[in-house]
Amino acid sequence: MRHIITGGSGFVGTYMASVLAERGENVVVFDLGEPPGMKSSLDFILGDVRQHRDLRKLQLQRDDVVYHLAARQFHGDVPYRNRDQWFSDVNVNGTRCLLEAISAGHTQRLVFFSTDMTYGKPERTPVNPTDMQRPIGPYGRSKVAAERLLMRACREFGLHATIFRPRLIAGAGRLGILMKLFRLIRAGLPVPLVGTGENRYQMIAVEDCVTAALAAVERNCPSGPFHLGSREPPTVKELLRELTRRAGSRSVLLPVPAIILKPILSLLDSVALTLLYPEQFAIANIDYLLDIEATTKGLGWAPIWSDMDIIYEAYTGFLKSL
């Protein structure tokens, strides 16, 4: 049996490959570039999930397990025009091509990382996995479309596919939206908040994501969908106050009314001076938690990391990268 990770050079993929390798598993990393410092025990295949000729290199077989992590996200060179097409190109078309290769190889098991952004602005909290998906932006829309392709594959050729919808995945080595925050804290500058900061903004550690994925595989990839998030997250204000204290920073929190800040962020995004993307700032002042009870019961899984430990681990990783 092989464990094949599309997007295996990314943040979650790199960690997952390392954990599987430590277990002595046969691991194949499939990506556009080889991860730095890749273990010699790992097999690397250069490829693009949008290209059938690249996917044929995998020679997928019935007992393989595929972890589909290849995706475009809100980091890197996100265009400010035609974003739906840009995200869909990889997140939807790439998923479709991969499923065609899986069908041809009669592969039975797949783990897919979707996103909490498929819900848009939640009508209630905590959000239940059965709640309506109403994405408000191109990334969330692309993930909803990818989920539907997976569900159809499960019906049409018996694929066992687990869908995870995680909150913000963070840890050492993953910055993204946190980069701007960490730069302010390191410099001791004021940290603006969208709103009062009394809302909770749940996260999930990369380590907890990987243990959940492996738990799903052990159970033959039940469909879910399954939520991934921490337990009992603090308010944003509590979280950032504690982070600045641990960091020894002089930064103070600066609450800015959302009714003032959101139009400014929207204007900046429209002229390619993006500080936060609309899908990010639209929910930045909302109490937004995912209900993870179905995941704990269905997979026998529970998160280990707290939000405070997750963000501090990410901050110390940021300092080491300087």
Asked if residues 74 and 139 have their Cβ atoms less than 8 Å apart, the reply is: yes
DSSP track, 181-212: HHHHHHHT--EEEEB-S-SBB-EEEHHHHHHH
Name, in order, each residue with C-beta under 8 angstroms of 176's C-beta and a sequence gap of 6 or more: 73, 74, 75
139 is catalytic: yes
Asked if residues 87 and 142 have their Cβ atoms less than 8 Å apart, the reply is: yes
Q: How many CA atoms lie within 13 A of 318 on its CB side?
A: 23
Cα separation of 71 and 188, whole Å?
34
Look at the alpha carbons of 35, 41, 45, 50 in this order and tell me if their dihedral is positive or negative: negative
Catalytic residue among 139, 201, 277, 315: 139
Active site residues: 139
